[in-house]
A and B are shown apart, each in its own frame.
Chain A
């Protein structure tokens, strides 16, 4: 008897929770859960009108999210400006030393560039990759243990396609994984799901750079067994995926308790503008 009562009570509660519209409620919970599940199931349609509606919705939300995040961004910007002011003298000393080295390196680099072009001409090599890029603003940056991405202000209307390489200054930082009409999402190389074919110099060792979810260090996978990698070696994109051009610097090798890691050149926390390579 009491068990029946309990069951009846539960059914009444469930009916009330799911179907009853409370004060100020226009929809019942059941209706909204069903709508959510329908929207979720529409994720399987990756093309056609549903996809277009989804892209427009995403564009609108991303743009309005950018507006909403302006006050928060200005707070963090003020904080980092204050920190920069405190570190100004140390930074100046470092830059003074670096400038002397830089002049020599530029001259050396120019020589190697010309030599490289001459040799490429000799073997008749064609450039497969496009060197045209947009400098675009970062609208939002997403940081969580399983998502390291940036949202930018250019979409497929501007010729940006999935897999396109993205640089911050001269360094490779990630690739396009989602392109809407006016906005796109960059998956950073520090993201857990990021896998980029690389080459390590000196030695021209090919491997895969894998993100760890950590903004400072990446991991190297599929290294040959007898490798001779030393600390300070430079990691470049290898271009073996046929999408990202080769030779874009990513970071340098760091040996941490015999584990080979990559210390990224780019500072992912300070990216405001990026270069996105596109095809016409």
Chain B
């Protein structure tokens, strides 16, 4: 196996973590304005949810914790709040993994909505009631809804990446 193939294979294995870190470091919230309303997609929620549900073995929880800390520094949030959010998503997906045998996109999508609503509520409670940071409730809700809407598209892209990673792992075994 050549060095290029080895590097490519190694890169594919760590690609979920790389995607998560790029999304947090390069600004995890992508904003679009429509009719004076801001739609803020939180891509990190989708990435953490998708990989921890489908392939938790790719993601070390330590990396998720670290990504949360990075996100907090960049977003000027109290340090640790995003880590709590991401890890809570992992807790919820771990419960689902134990309960559901057959997964499909619709189940995942609905469960993603429930997860981000729980995590969003915790985020709101901590920021507003504990740290007294005023945030716009409508903005937060609209952002969560926008994130919910883009889940299927991102899930398809992430599935495609997952297939490539899986094919690479199978090649290695053979």
Tell yes or no: A29 within 8 A of B by CB: yes
Q: Do the beta carbons of B60 and A26 come within 8 Å of each other? A: yes
- Count A/B pairs, Cβ under 8 Å: 137
Q: Do the beta carbons of B38 and A35 come within 8 Å of each other? A: no
**Interface of B (DSSP majority class):** helix
User: In the complex, what residue of chain A is closest to B58 when comparing beta carbons?
Assistant: A24
Tell yes or no: B44 within 8 A of A by CB: no
Residue count of chain A within 8 Å CB distance of chain B: 47
Instruction: Report the bound CA distance from A38 to B25 in whole Å.
Output: 23
Residues of B within 8 A of A58 (CB): 73
Q: Tell me the residues in window 41-88 of chain A with beta carbons closer than 8 Å to chain B beta carbons.
A: 42-43, 54, 57-58, 61-62, 64-65, 68-69, 72
Q: Do the beta carbons of A69 and B27 come within 8 Å of each other? A: yes
Residues of B within 8 A of A147 (CB): 75-76
Tell yes or no: A130 within 8 A of B by CB: no
Residues of A within 8 A of B143 (CB): 144-145
Q: Do the beta carbons of A61 and B38 come within 8 Å of each other? A: no
The range of chain B's interface size is 35 or more
Q: Give, as a whole number of angstroms, the nearest-CB distance from A110 to chain B.
A: 41
User: In the complex, what residue of chain A is closest to B142 when comparing beta carbons?
Assistant: A145
User: In the complex, what residue of chain A is closest to B73 when comparing beta carbons?
Assistant: A61
Interface residues of chain A, those whose CB is within 8 Å of chain B, are 13, 16-18, 22-29, 32-33, 35-40, 42-43, 54, 57-58, 61-62, 64-65, 68-69, 72, 140, 142-147, 149, 151, 178, 185, 192-193, 213-214
Interface residues of chain B, those whose CB is within 8 Å of chain A, are 21-22, 25-27, 29, 31, 36, 38, 40, 56-58, 60-62, 64-65, 68-70, 73-76, 78-81, 83-84, 87-88, 90-91, 94-95, 98-99, 126, 131, 134-136, 139-140, 142-143
22 residue pairs A–B, Cβ–Cβ below 8 Å: A17-B94, A17-B98, A23-B57, A25-B60, A26-B60, A29-B90, A32-B64, A32-B83, A33-B88, A35-B65, A38-B80, A39-B69, A43-B79, A43-B131, A68-B22, A69-B26, A140-B74, A143-B27, A145-B40, A145-B136, A213-B139, A214-B36
The 10 A-B residue pairs with the shortest CB-CB distance, nearest first, are: A40-B80, A145-B139, A39-B80, A68-B25, A36-B83, A145-B38, A17-B94, A61-B73, A23-B57, A43-B78
